[in-house]
Amino acid sequence: MGDGEIIVRNRFTDLLAPDQENDFLKLWLDMYFEIEVTTKKSSQEVQARDLNLLIAFLIDATGSDYRLNWTPRESAEFKNYLQSVINEKTGKRRWSDRTINRIIAHVKTFAKWINKIAPFPLGNPMEKIKALPVGNTLEIERAITPPERRKILDAADLLLTHGGLSKDRLRFKDIKTRPVRKGYRPYRNRAIIYTLIESGMRRNAVTTISIDDIDIDLKTVKVVEKGGGQRTCNISTEGINAIRDYIINERDLDTDHWQSQALFLAAKTTKKSSGRLKAWTINYIWSEVCKSLNIKKSPHSARHAMGNYIMKKTGNLAAVQRQLGHRNPASSMQYARITNKELNNLLDER
């Protein structure tokens, strides 16, 4: 036992007696920061805010922050609480998965410290509480909604008519007639938008597609994913038709110049290119369309939308994993979540 723990035992001798009614977590929290926590002030402020969330929850759930009220069951309820609270202004969850994991980490450290000095009757209340599985950018609430999907696809179709956005970024509804910019590739850009939305593949994967990787009859596309592995990705009829339209109507404009097997080619007027598009170009094409609609979503939001769609239609995690190419099934599990609002609506429909 360290000197800090001995000091705590000496100063909390009365509090640790089983017949005392003043063994409160707030007192333990004060002692925790006085003796145990050595991080910088800004970090301590975050820790204190996270730990006070737990204390406030216990007071609301059990009537007080009495230490022995903190049980493994209450810890599980606290985790559920963090996942279910909705921000009334935005209609979205108050805390992201990453924030919840930070809160859980701070609470676990606090619980472990207390349990070493004054063991809980049912053991460390946070011992079996696990962090949420979080990928690099899997904020699935950022998925494009069905109405947004329809608007983006409609805007992509308009690229063929209007030649895309000019650099003054006028909205599509304001565009009457405009000559196509030099080197602009509306069929290609339309096909890229459709590929992202109708397959759910990553933007980097889109850049790896070669012309021979397309099977129009089977509606499949071979892509190279993170780590260099190749997989076959299914795509909708609309998606494969958009790719076919690009191949028939536009791709030949650039094939002789680049002599590249890439499906999506840079315009031959582009300087310093191998012919194969980069991920930043995919981002630019996507953002040009979304800005015209005042939609603030990244290309990855189309991937999340595909995961949500498959889960809602089939309830099959294996289908999500296969279509999105997840190596870790935990990544697919995120699409099985249900919000508090969705759960209430489901119960009300009985």
Same domain for 101 and 191, yes or no, is: no
If you average pLDDT over every residue of the chain, what do you get? 85
Please give the share of the chain, as a percent, with pLDDT higher than 70.
83
Tokens of 48: 């204190």
Please give the share of the chain, as a percent, with pLDDT higher than 90.
61
Query: What total of structural domains would you count in the chain?
Result: 2
Closest CA to 98 of 82, 77, 109, 80: 82
Which has the higher per-residue pLDDT, 90 or 126?
126
Residue 5 in this model has a pLDDT that exceeds 70: no
Average pLDDT over residues 3-12: 56
Each residue's pLDDT tens digit, 49-80: 999 999 999 999 999 999 999 999 999 999 99
Residue 300 lies in a domain: no
Same domain for 30 and 99, yes or no, is: yes
Number of H helices, E strands in the chain: 15, 3
In this predicted structure, what is the pLDDT of residue 327?
Answer: 81
The Cα 302–Cα 308 span in angstroms is 10
In this predicted structure, what is the pLDDT of residue 271?
Answer: 85
Same domain for 92 and 189, yes or no, is: no
Each residue's pLDDT tens digit, 301-347: 999 999 999 998 998 999 999 999 988 787 788 888 766 666 777 78
Find the distance separating the first CA and the last CA of the chain, reported in whole Å.
Answer: 56
Residue 241 lies in a domain: yes
Average pLDDT over residues 30-56: 91
Residue 95 lies in a domain: yes
- Burial class of residue 287, CB neighbours in 10 A (0-12, 13-18, 19+): middle
167 band by pLDDT with thresholds 50, 70 and 90: very low
Which has the higher per-residue pLDDT, 5 or 89?
89
123 band by pLDDT with thresholds 50, 70 and 90: very high
Average pLDDT over residues 99-107: 94
Each residue's pLDDT tens digit, 254-308: 999 999 999 999 999 988 889 999 999 999 999 999 998 999 899 999 999 999 9
Looking at 294, 314, 333, the residue that finishes a domain is 294
Cβ proximity of 134 and 113 under 8 Å: no
CA 336 to chain centroid? 13
- Burial class of residue 291, CB neighbours in 10 A (0-12, 13-18, 19+): middle
- Residue-by-residue DSSP string for 34-67: III--S-HHHHHHHHHHHHHHHHHHHHHHSS-BG
Altogether, the residues listed in the chain come to a count of 350
Containing domain of residue 113, as a range?
Answer: 3-117
Residue 283, domain CATH: 1.10.443.10
Cβ proximity of 35 and 8 under 8 Å: yes
Residue 215 in this model has a pLDDT that exceeds 90: yes
Looking at 294, 320, 341, the residue that finishes a domain is 294
Average pLDDT over residues 8-35: 73
In this predicted structure, what is the pLDDT of residue 3?
Answer: 55
Average pLDDT over residues 24-30: 93
Looking at 270, 294, 318, the residue that finishes a domain is 294
Amino acid making up residue 47: Q
In this predicted structure, what is the pLDDT of residue 180?
Answer: 45
Same domain for 68 and 154, yes or no, is: no
Residue 173 in this model has a pLDDT that exceeds 60: no
Residue 303 lies in a domain: no
